[in-house]
Amino acid sequence: MDSNLLDLFFWQTVLWATGLSVVRILVSYLICLFAGIVVAIWLASSAKAERIAVPIFDLVQNIPPLAFYPIAILVFMKANLIEGSAIFVLVTVMLWPLLFGLIGAAKQIPLDIKYAARIFGAKGSKYIRYVILPAVFPAVVTSSIVSWGIGWNLLVVAEWIRYGQTDIRLQGVGGLLNEATASGTVDVVLFTTAVVMILVVVSLLHVFIWRPLLRKSENYKFD
């Protein structure tokens, strides 16, 4: 690609790549968020399950993310699901902040809140809706910020897939960063532009999503 800041095609390519990266991280995040909420609800309702599952999760999270890379290659690449491979790699690292944050928040629900829920007949779906979900909301916000940050850090790996003797660079910011350094010499314009785009998106997310959610989460904290 011709790295010329005055070239309209250059900016179209960069913006399109940035959008694709945001979508990949968003899809990975939603998978992690759903899994984290389901597991937190499950463990909050079963002390025995918590004693068994938490040590296993703690063990698995210490496995280096790149150890899962061959699995992504074998499963997704052979099925010609390149995007699935990238999302799988992202999920393996974005999951843990959300999972442990939500489990911790669910464990810290005060006993008097639980007793009050029983008195007022909040069971099953009502208990989940009116007790567990509000209780874990602050953890969802703070853990989500960490999870997204980790996702951005791993983009370079997730969007550059080596399959046999073939290098597959997915369109995305991580792919652009790989392209900027692939020839042995750094394409300074492309590299700098990709980094700046990441900073812009991260800043916009913080201002328009995370900061308002952080303020709102203060209303759900137990004093």
Over the stretch 107-153, which tens digit does the pLDDT of each residue have? 888 888 888 877 877 777 888 888 889 999 999 999 999 999 999 99
User: For the chain, what percent of residues have pLDDT higher than 90?
Assistant: 48
User: For the chain, what percent of residues have pLDDT higher than 70?
Assistant: 97
Please identify which residue in the block is written with the tokens 């959300």.
98
Say yes or no to pLDDT of 172 above 80.
yes
Provide the whole-model pTM: 0.91
> How much is the mean pLDDT over the chain?
88
Report all structural domains of the chain as residue ranges with CATH numbers, in order of start: 8-220 (1.10.3720.10)
pLDDT, greater one: 132 or 71: 132
Tens digits of residue pLDDT in 9-22? 999 999 999 999 99
Q: Which residues contact 89 (CB under 8 A, 6 or more apart)?
A: 65, 68, 69, 72, 154, 157, 158
Tens digits of residue pLDDT in 32-50? 999 999 999 998 888 888 8
